[in-house]
Amino acid sequence: MESKKTARQILSADLGLIHKLDKREKKSYNLVMSAIEELEQRVARLESLFEDVIKEKLTYILQRLDQLYEKTERDKTEILAKTEKDKTELLEKIANLYAKTEKDKAEILTKTERDKKELIKWMIGLLVGFSTLIITAMWAMLSFALK
Which amino acid is present at 77?
A: T
Q: Is the pTM of this model over 0.85?
A: no
Q: Mean pLDDT for each 10-residue chunk of the chain (147 residues)?
A: 57 57 63 80 89 94 95 95 95 95 94 94 93 91 82
| SS3 state at 5 | coil
Q: In this predicted structure, what is the pLDDT of residue 1? A: 45
DSSP 8-state class, residue 21: S
The domain in which residue 125 lies consists of 2-146
Instruction: Residue 40: count other Cβ atoms within 10 Å of its Cβ.
Output: 13
DSSP 8-state class, residue 4: G
Kindly list the distances between the CA atom of residue 50 and the CA atoms of 42, 61, 95, 113, in Å, as whole numbers in the listed order.
12, 16, 66, 92
Q: In this predicted structure, what is the pLDDT of residue 76? A: 94
22 φ, ψ to 5°? -85, 180
Q: In this predicted structure, what is the pLDDT of residue 108? A: 95
Q: In this predicted structure, what is the pLDDT of residue 61? A: 95
Q: In this predicted structure, what is the pLDDT of residue 11? A: 59
How many domains is the chain partitioned into structurally? 1
